[in-house]
Structure 1
Amino acid sequence: MNYKNITIAGSGVLGYQIAFQSAFHGFHVTVYDITDENLERAKAKFDIMSEAFKIDLQATQQQIDKTRQNLTYTSNLAEAVKNADLLIEAVPENPTIKIDFYKKLAKVAPEKTVFATNSSTLLPSQFAEATGRPSKFIALHFANTIWIHNTAEIMGHPKTDPNVFEDVVAFAKAIGMLALPLHKEQPGYILNSLLVPLLSAATSLLVSEVADPETIDKTWMKATGAPLGPFGILDVVGITTAYNIDKIAAEKTKDALKIKTVKYLKDNYIDKNKLGVSTGEGFYTYPNPAYKEADFLK
């Protein structure tokens, strides 16, 4: 693996974390997003991440300064990928948006560039042909707060070059991840194959008026010892991501409860900009959500 220059496309919930983590480990990282406003927001989030790295990883100011030097920003796609050894796509979890992005990317990326999708639930084979380089295309999925929950699931598709697969595994290790290779395509990889049914079950209980979010979270946290319940997790992941996943499922299955869930999330959260931790409010309010209170489980 001789990657040096990494491009992150999309500076949202996971994109900016992948960028900072890669830069922290010595890679030259270009952050691409469709507007300069989005990039300015990413820079503000890097201020917060800098403090988190100091607290959680005992990073020195010198390390943070070096990380900042390794980061550049652009809203010009051709400029963003002109030197890229690896591009990690972290654009919204919507097949149409991703396919459109890859078609534009294929026209401007150098031949050497490997493409990786950070999709949470979609298969790389869905986009392989749109990339124009199926053999150099792979899925590389990270868990949120990647400097702490440092997992990287690596999943190829039938046409992925085995050498590309091994290079991406090596890159994941090089940025401090626990590399988790998957032997075949699986919607949701390992993490979301386990997590999405939990979150889906929780929202179904809520929408069916069985119990409120706090009661559901208390049940899960107390009974399993988990530090977060499903609604706390949804706030961290971002309610928009859950909404998009449920919307795809509702359109595919026509399931009445799924359709009801999509409407519920849209009316009560998406339309009110209550998107979770990122907006300061979701199922809980931040920075001091109820589940962090000492007596939450009493």
Structure 2
Amino acid sequence: MTSQFPAETSATGAFVRQKYQFQGRFSRDGSTPFPAEAGRYRLYVSLACPWAHRAVIVRGLLGLEDTISMAVVDPVRDERGWALRDGPGHSSDGVCGFEFLSEAYLRTDPGYQGRYTVPCIWDTVTKQLVTNNYPDITLDFETQFVDFQGPGAPDLYPEALRPEIDALNAVIYTDVNDGVYKAGFAASQAPYEEAVTRLFARLDALEEHLSDRRYLVGGQLTEADIRLFTTLVRFDAVYVGHFKCNLRRLVDYPNLWGYARDLFQRPGFRETVNFDHIKRHYYMTHERLNPSGVVPLGPISDWDAPHDRARLP
């Protein structure tokens, strides 16, 4: 097994996430090279990846399954990267015929040198990657594929709440979503401690924020909740131990833990969570963090326990 430990670290040993090269945008009005169309685009995801998980949830909540097809990669990578092959919870690619996700990247740019990341979207018409820039993908699903959304689809990015959603997303990304990676992949003590300190300061603030409201923004489910959920659902299973984010567990936060269960138990969330993929990916592909490749059995967490969040405004 070849390590997939990210190489992006600064001179001080701090983890620095790579920039995402493919940043095409979709358009409802055809003003970009990639107009919103049904049946044209294919979403590639890993059920282990929190960034890809966002796209899976939003695609389902908006009823875009028949508009944008989806392929799930094998959660365990080797030196060739993400593979598309048959297995529990994943399968070979019957649409584009890729055996490895790298093929999509290299067909788009034969000189591409970065990592082959999920989520990404392939255009079956122009035969190229549109985007691997995960923050844009869900926003475009929400705002540019409106004509293809199912009946009763929620407005996850309401225009009146966008400034508040964007501001909250920015700090949650820096301190929580990417914060766990900054801690886990830090190559020296100081950046690790800085990342963990900021992570738990932000979780403490979110615990207080959620003490008197059911959702993060505007009293309704939004993009902000989905972005936080995909980190929270992995927290105790992976980040506490594997990434050394162990000052506290999610279950130690009454409001955050109840909030996470509230979302998990909603239609459109539970069925997207695959703890087998999550644990096998993290524990079996980061040799420097877990040289043995042994996958832990725990933790035992009751995600179906009553959450009592419906009482909140």
Q: Which has the higher contact order (CA 8 A, sep 6+)?
A: 2
Q: Larger helix proportion, structure 1 or 2?
A: 1
TM band (smaller chain): 0.3 to 0.5
Normalising to structure 2: TM-score of the pair? 0.35
